[in-house]
Structure formats: C-alpha cells, structure tokens
C-alpha cells in the first residue's frame, strides 16, 4: 500500500516585498519593549535576518498571508527593510506553527553559545547578537558545570529558569536528579520552586560548597496569618473543584470552534482588516498550550 505525503511547504524560499504580506494579528502595545522583540532586533542588527517568515500564497491575487513571524516583520519594518525571505506554506492554517515549534531551551542555548565561543566568535559580538551582556556570555562556560549529566538530560528541552542551575549546584548529583524529576512532573521550572526543593534537602545530600541554610524563625503572628490564608485557600479550592470539569469541557469546545475559524484564511483576513482586537483575543485562545 502506497501512502501519499503532501508537502507542507514549497521547495524553495522566496524573497517577497513587505508590502505584499498580510499580517494575521496585531502586535499588542508595548511589544517593542518586550525582551523577545529586543532579542530579535539585536540579532538582526548584528547578523541580519536568520529565520524566514512563513506565508501562505493567496490564489485570488498576488498577496501573501503571514502565518508566522509577526515580531520579525515588525523588526524588518522598523529597520527600513523593503523585502524579506519567506517560506511558502501549502496550507492556510494560520495558527498552528507556534504551537508545534519547539523553542530553544536554556540547556540547548548554552551548548550553542559554547560552540560559537569555541569556534572563535568573540564574546562581545555574540553578546550583541543575542542581546546579552559580555559578562553573561562568559558565564555560560561555567553555567552547567558540576551538574550531573542525568539531570541535564531530563532538563535539556525544558524552559528552565537560568537561576535554577546555580541552585542545583547546592546539592549532590543524586539530589539534582530527584529535583529535575520533580520539576518535570510538576512542570514547574521556576527559581522559587527550585529554591524550595533545595531548602527541603537533607544535610547529607547538600554539596560540600553549598551555602549554609538559614533556619526559619516564623513569628506567632505570621503563623496565625498563614493559618487564616490556608483556610481561605481550602474554601476556594473546594469551590473551584465543583465547577472545574464543566468549565474545562466548555472551554475545550469553544477553543475548538475558534481554531476552526482561524484555519480559514478568508476569516483571518477579514478579522485582521475589520476587527483586529477580536482577532488578537482569538489568537490568544488558540495559542494557549493548555486549558489547565
């Protein structure tokens, strides 16, 4: 039995005038002060455009619907560019790319920085391209030092806060693995959660060079306030639990309907032209990784 596979993109990239690209969403106010926007801007200023835009060719005219790359388009426009390299999609599903693209995790990013440094790229130029300070780039050489290979394997594709790696160095390798497993199970990779795990680590599992723990000395009034807050939290949890299942079903149905709407290029084009604010809200609903 022969299975036919449809190509998702045309075989070659094309260079298109920016005037022929039709955005499918409006960037929120303040986006140009956003860290991600600044990173893209810095990278473009130093090394030029690296990642092509993703577009869909409209059949009724010579315009293209922009499916992915709205921040990059804004950077190009601000820089005075008149054209951009694009990948042409054979499908008009406008809101699936960000959902399926795996973003570079901190562990992977660190390895790429080390490769660039080893290849002879100066820390100053690399810092400018990545919108980082030269000191931060130099610290990349030791960021993962003294962390077990097993823990790094668990966290290699996770959005781990950079400060977490410094906290992992406070405990022994076996405890590092335990912490990495707990973070993966709870999907919590924040500094505060890692700090909490370190604080609950027994003395025999602490690293030799770990800073001494400061014993907590809660005041009576703090304990009383915490008890009141815990009681209120328990009541809130019970109330949420009663309606949670029903609300998730309703949200799932609504999200599915929004997805179908936004897979229609004509609907997207109309909303972008007439109701940009509605389109932005629909996009946020569709791009949500999880309803829970």
Query: With contact defined as beta carbons under 8 Å apart, do 66 and 23 qualify?
Result: yes
DSSP the chain: -------SB-SS-EEEEGGGEE-SSPPPTTGGGSHHHHHHHHHHHHH---SPEEEEE-SSSS-EEEEE-HHHHHHHHHTT--EEEEEEESS--TTSHHHH--PPPHHHHHHHHHHHHHTT--HHHHHHHHT--HHHHHHTTTTTTT--HHHHHHHTTS---HHHHHHHTTB-HHHHHHHHHHHHHHT---HHHHHHHHHTS-GGGB-TTPPPPPPP---HHHHHHHHHHHHHHHHHHHHHHHHHHHHHHHHHHHHHHHHHHHT-HHHHHHHHHH-HHHHHHHHHHHH-S---
Distance CA 148, CA 253 (A): 43
Q: What is the pLDDT of residue 1?
A: 56
Q: How many CB atoms neighbour CB 52 within 10 A?
A: 18
Q: Which residue has the higher pLDDT, 242 or 67?
A: 67
C-beta separation of 123 from 134 below 8 A = yes
Using alpha carbons, list the distances in angstroms from residue 210 to 172, 198, 274: 10, 10, 59
**Extents of the domains making up the chain:** 14-100, 105-143, 149-207, 220-287
Model pTM score: 0.51
At 89-99, the pLDDT tens digits run: 877 655 455 54
- 14-100, CATH topology level: 3.90.1530
Cα angle 8-13-19, degrees, rounded to a multiple of 5:
105
Mean pLDDT across the chain, nearest whole number? 81
pLDDT in tens, 22-64: 888 778 778 888 877 888 888 888 777 667 888 888 877 788 8
**Predicted confidence (pLDDT) per residue in 129-144, tens digit:** 777 788 888 888 888 8
Q: Do 180 and 144 meet the contact criterion of CB atoms below 8 Å apart? A: no
Model confidence over 264-286: pLDDT tens digits? 888 888 888 888 888 888 887 77
Q: Residue 262: which region, alpha, beta or left (left: phi > 0; alpha: psi -120 to 50)?
A: alpha
């Amino acid at each position: 039995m022969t299975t036919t596979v449809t190509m998702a993109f045309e075989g070659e990239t094309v260079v298109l005038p920016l005037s022929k690209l039709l955005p499918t969403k409006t960037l929120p106010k303040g986006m140009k002060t956003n860290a991600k926007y600044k990173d893209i801007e810095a990278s473009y200023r130093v090394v030029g455009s690296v990642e092509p835009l993703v577009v869909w060719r409209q059949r009724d005219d010579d315009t293209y619907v922009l499916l992915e790359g709205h921040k990059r388009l804004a950077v190009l426009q601000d820089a005075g560019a008149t054209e951009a390299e694009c990948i042409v999609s054979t499908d008009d599903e406008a809101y699936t790319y960000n959902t399926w693209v795996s973003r570079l995790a901190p562990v992977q990013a660190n390895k790429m920085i080390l490769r660039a440094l080893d290849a002879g790229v100066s820390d100053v130029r690399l810092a400018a391209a990545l919108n980082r300070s030269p000191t931060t780039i130099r610290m990349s050489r030791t960021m993962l030092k003294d962390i077990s290979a097993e823990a790094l394997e668990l966290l290699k594709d996770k959005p781990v806060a950079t400060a977490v790696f410094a906290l992992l160095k406070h405990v022994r390798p076996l405890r590092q693995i335990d912490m990495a497993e707990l973070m993966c199970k709870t999907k919590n990779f924040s500094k505060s959660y890692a700090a909490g795990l370190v604080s609950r680590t027994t003395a025999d599992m602490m690293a030799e060079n770990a800073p001494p723990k400061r014993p907590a000395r809660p005041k009576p009034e703090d304990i009383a306030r915490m008890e009141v807050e815990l009681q209120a939290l328990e009541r809130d949890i019970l109330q949420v639990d009663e309606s949670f299942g029903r609300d998730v079903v309703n949200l799932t149905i609504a999200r599915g309907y929004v997805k179908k709407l936004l897979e229609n290029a004509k609907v997207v084009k109309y909303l972008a032209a007439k109701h940009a604010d509605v389109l932005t809200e629909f996009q946020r609903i569709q791009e949500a990784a999880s309803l829970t």
